[in-house]
Amino acid sequence: MKNVVHELPGGNFDLLLEQARAKLRGGDALACQALAKSVIRAARERQDVHLEARALLCLASGDRVVSHFRKSNETSQRAAFLFQLVGDVAGESEALMIVSHTYSVLGRSEEAVEAALLSLRLTERLPPGPALALSYNYLGIAYAHDRNYDKADEAFTTAIKTLEDGGLPSEAWLPWFNQLNMEVCRLFGERYYTGQLPGLGRLQALRGVHKFPVGADPLAGLPQGDYIVSQAVWLLAAGVENCWRGRLNEALADVEMCSAWAARSPWNSSLAILELWLRAEIAWAAKDWEIAEQRIRKMIEMAVEAEHEPMVAIGHLLASQILAEQGYGKRAKDELKTLRVRKQGLRNDFLKSRESVVAWQLKVRKNHEDLQRMEASSRTLEKLSFEDPLTGLANRRRFTEMVPELLSQGLARGRPAFVALIDIDQFKQVNDRFSHQVGDQVLQHIAQILKSHLREGDMPARLAGDEFVLAFGQADATHVEQVCERIRAAVKNHNWASIQDGLQVTISVGFAQAQSEDSVETLTHRADLAMYSAKRIAA
């Protein structure tokens, strides 16, 4: 997988990223990560900020699926920042959704709400589409982890309605399942803080909104990994309701099926954590204290390893309740103390993490600004290399590069190009009599006259000294002759005395029509001969 970038001719990175996303949709998060990393390396080598942002977003999605939430958070933050640098609003909004979700899982609910709100505001600036519903979905998750359940419910409901009104009811499964999961967590918290088993009507009602068929074929368009998670969440909700209603046999059946689904996604530790939670609840209801505590300890261990802080908190609160019910008051308090110490440690860690993120952003911003200055300097140098510095017209190099294209286009259209050569009469005498400074002003004024008499698409250039050339891409002989005559008359009648008393300037002009065998040199040479012929006649 290390050499995957070089396997595609021309480095088709869009195709590589699409392959990575396809792997993720199919449940192969590890392949997605490997492909995304290869594109990130290539993007950094090429200093392609936008490509790097897109690849980072893909990697963050893969990290999140395999429960590497801290990595996903850091990577998605970097992606959002780079998208902001290049002005990709849609990309920045999508990256912020992952930032918000991973902040929620990592126990940083305030930052999660902030990121979700920013994502929503950015998405509102885009054309209507599913992205708006997705933003509301992640805002609901953030509010739910912040225990602002009313606002969470409102956000989930808005997401579902947005999809249904947009003709996408089958895609409403995500906010609906998150709404269902939120209700389970809300009921758990209510039971903990009141000491009473809460009413289960709302949970039952939410489960009845959509009859999700456990074990059926995946919904149309639903990625395999998401389908597995949705099945597990459905079974968790059903199992919790059955357990809390005292239907332990039904709850046991639910947890066994939940375990089967979790086994299909072994890299997603969140599913195994949900399964352990449900098993601990069943053991508690059966007064099997030893098994209940074993399940809880394993749940906490896995949640800590995954840095899934809401599940860590639920584990400690559940352990505290079970210990208290057995009469172990001190041990129950110790569980709560352990949880408080962990939260404080997390806050300190995140302060350090924010410092490193800010330092990285400053470094990237500086590198980006340096790159922009280099690009601006390169554009300036390129312009200078094609532009005559005195008159601002194209120079000989630019003329010789552009005319072949005019020749080929003219022949293809059946209207050959024309080239006119212009020479200032007795220009050496102007310099000798009035100074080179006056001569420079003459050249600048003639350049302005040339530009004022040409159409868009025609090209004036200064070849050298007092020689100018005009290239006509779409014209006929009559038009070219008229333009040349108008230019000759404009030069003759110009108020040259405004530059220097006694100054008079005239020009000689000759033109030639391109022929099929012409090169730039042969066409220019024939125009040059025509110009000298005109000069002899005038003399």
pLDDT digits (tens, 9 = 90+) for 288-335: 999 999 999 999 999 999 889 999 999 999 999 999 999 999 999 999
Question: Residue 375: pLDDT band by 50, 70, 90 thresholds?
Answer: low
In a domain, 225, yes or no: yes
Q: Give yes or no for a contact between 406 and 417, defined as CB atoms under 8 angstroms apart.
A: yes
The residue among 267, 299, 327 that closes a domain is 327
Question: Exposure string (b/e) for 297-324, b if CB count within 10 Å is 16 or more?
Answer: ebbbebbeebbbbbbbbbbbbbbbbbbe
Q: Do 25 and 81 belong to one domain?
A: yes
Q: How far apart are CA 63 and CA 28, in angstroms?
A: 11
Q: Give yes or no for a contact between 260 and 252, defined as CB atoms under 8 angstroms apart.
A: no
Q: Do 121 and 220 belong to one domain?
A: no
Q: Do 278 and 415 belong to one domain?
A: no
The residue among 132, 163, 194 that closes a domain is 163
Q: Do 146 and 193 belong to one domain?
A: no
Position 380 pLDDT exceeds 60: no
In a domain, 334, yes or no: no
In a domain, 342, yes or no: no
The position carrying tokens 């906490």 is 300
Backbone angles phi, psi at 507, to 5 degrees: -135, 160
Q: Give yes or no for a contact between 221 and 170, defined as CB atoms under 8 angstroms apart.
A: yes
pLDDT digits (tens, 9 = 90+) for 37-72: 999 999 988 888 899 999 999 999 999 988 889 899
How would you classify residue 426: left for phi > 0, otherwise alpha for psi between -120 and 50, otherwise beta?
Answer: left
Number of structural domains the chain divides into? 3
- Residue-level pLDDT at 348: 66
Q: Do 187 and 46 belong to one domain?
A: no
Position 26 pLDDT exceeds 70: yes
- Residue-level pLDDT at 218: 44
pLDDT digits (tens, 9 = 90+) for 429-462: 988 899 989 999 999 999 999 989 888 778 899 9
Question: Residue 475: pLDDT band by 50, 70, 90 thresholds?
Answer: confident
Q: How far apart are CA 533 and CA 467, in angstroms?
A: 15
Q: Do 143 and 231 belong to one domain?
A: no
- Residue-level pLDDT at 357: 55
In a domain, 174, yes or no: yes
Position 428 pLDDT exceeds 70: yes
How many C-beta atoms surround the C-beta of residue 528 within 10 A?
18
Q: How far apart are CA 418 and CA 475, in angstroms?
A: 7
- Residue-level pLDDT at 319: 95
Q: Which of 468, 508, 452 is nearest to 485 (CA)?
A: 508
**The residue count for the chain:** 539
Beta 467-472 vs 459-464: how paired, if at all?
antiparallel
Higher pLDDT, 519 or 41: 41
Higher pLDDT, 204 or 226: 204
- Mean pLDDT estimate for the chain: 84
| Amino acid symbol at 390 | L
Position 509 pLDDT exceeds 90: yes
Q: Which of 434, 462, 438 is nearest to 448 (CA)?
A: 462
Query: Which residue range forms the structural domain that includes residue 456?
Result: 396-538
Position 219 pLDDT exceeds 50: no
Position 514 pLDDT exceeds 50: yes
- Residue-level pLDDT at 2: 36
Helix (H, G, I), strand (E, B) or coil at 368: helix
Q: What is the CATH number of the domain that holds 5?
A: 1.25.40.10
Mean pLDDT of 149-166: 93
Q: How far apart are CA 475 and CA 406, in angstroms?
A: 11
Higher pLDDT, 29 or 61: 61
Question: Residue 463: pLDDT band by 50, 70, 90 thresholds?
Answer: confident
Q: Do 182 and 289 belong to one domain?
A: yes
In the chain, what percentage of residues exceed pLDDT 70? 86
- Residue-level pLDDT at 369: 58
Backbone angles phi, psi at 419, to 5 degrees: -130, 135
Backbone angles phi, psi at 371, to 5 degrees: -65, -40
Q: What is the CATH number of the domain that holds 431?
A: 3.30.70.270
In a domain, 264, yes or no: yes
Position 90 pLDDT exceeds 90: yes
**Tokens (6 digits) for 103:** 């902040």
Mean pLDDT of 234-255: 92
pLDDT digits (tens, 9 = 90+) for 246-294: 999 999 999 998 888 878 877 778 888 999 999 999 999 999 999 999 9
In the chain, what percentage of residues exceed pLDDT 90? 45
Question: Residue 353: pLDDT band by 50, 70, 90 thresholds?
Answer: low
Q: How far apart are CA 140 and CA 135, in angstroms?
A: 9
Cα distance from N-terminal residue to C-terminal residue, the chain: 77
Position 382 pLDDT exceeds 60: no
Position 537 pLDDT exceeds 60: yes
Q: Return all residues near 99 (Cβ < 8 A) that are at least 6 apart.
A: 73, 76, 77, 80, 115, 119
